[in-house]
Chain A
Amino acid sequence: MNAVSKNENAALAHPQRTVLELEVNNHAGVMSHVVGLFSRRAYNVEGILCLPVGDGRYSRIWLLVLEDRRLEQMIKQVEKLEDVRSVRRHGADHAVFERLEEFFR
Chain B
Amino acid sequence: MHSTAPQLSPAEESASAPETLTGAQIVVRLLERQGITTLSGIPGGAILPFYDALSASTKIRHVLARHEQGAGFLAQGMARATGQPAVCLASSGPGATNLLTAIADAKLDSIPLVAITGQVPRSMIGTDAFQEVDTYGLTIPITKHNFLVNSAEELLEVIPRAFTLAASGRPGPVLVDIPKDVQAQAIEVSQWPAPGGRQDLPAPDMAAIEKAAAMINAAERPILYLGGGVVHSGAAAAAVALAEKASLPTTMTLMALGAMPVDHPLSIHMLGMHGPRYTNLLLEECDLLIAVGARFDDRATGKVSAFCPKAQIIHIDIDPSELDKIKNAHVGITGDVAEVLEKLSPLVEPHLRKRWLTHMGDLRSRFPLQRPNLEDPRSHYGLIQAVADCLDDSATIATDVGQHQMWVAQAYPLRRPRQWLTSGGLGTMGFGVPAALGAALAEPERTVVCFTGDGSILMNIQEMAAIRETGANLKIVLMNNDALGLVYQQQELFYGKRYFASKFSGQPDFLKIAEGFGLDTLNLDTVDDPRAALREAFARPGPCLIHAFIDMNEKVYPMVPPGAANTDMIGG
Contact = CB atoms under 8 A, between A and B. Distances in A.
A77 interface: yes
Given A2-B327, A29-B136, A32-B140, A82 B145 contact: yes
A40 B141 contact: yes
Contact of A36 (B141, B145, B319): B141
Contact of A73 (B136, B144, B304, B321): B321
Given A77-B321, A80-B319, A82-B145, A1 B140 contact: no
A91 B320 CA distance: 23
A31 B324 CA distance: 26
Interface string B39-67: 00000000000000000000000000000
Contacts of A82: 144-145, 165
B137 A32 contact: yes
Nearest to B137: A32
A76 interface: yes
A14 interface: no
Contacts of A40: 141
Nearest to B136: A29
A82 B324 CA distance: 22
Interface in B446-494: none
Contacts, number: 37
A2 to B, nearest CB: 5
A32, A36, A82, A83 pick with most chain B CB within 10 angstroms? A82
B140, B165, B304 pick with most chain A CB within 10 angstroms? B140
Contacts of B321: 73, 76-77, 79-80
Nearest to A2: B328
B304 A1 contact: yes
Nearest to B321: A76
A2 B328 CA distance: 7
B325 interface: yes
Contacts of B326: 1-2
Nearest to A32: B140
B148 interface: yes
A33 B327 contact: no
A73 B137 contact: no
Interface in B299-321: 304-305, 319-321
Nearest to A40: B141
Contacts of A36: 140-141
Contacts of A32: 137, 140
Interface in A30-66: 32-33, 36, 40
A72 interface: yes
A55 B18 CA distance: 31
Contacts of A1: 304, 326
A10 B345 CA distance: 42
Interface in A56-105: 72-73, 76-77, 79-83
A29 to B, nearest CB: 6
Given A1-B304, A36-B141, A73-B321, A29 B148 contact: yes
B319 to A, nearest CB: 7
7 contacts: A1-B304, A3-B305, A29-B140, A32-B137, A80-B319, A81-B145, A83-B145
Interface of B: 136-137, 140-141, 144-146, 148, 165, 304-305, 319-321, 324-328
4 residue pairs, one from A and one from B, having the closest CB atoms: A76-B321, A82-B145, A36-B140, A2-B328
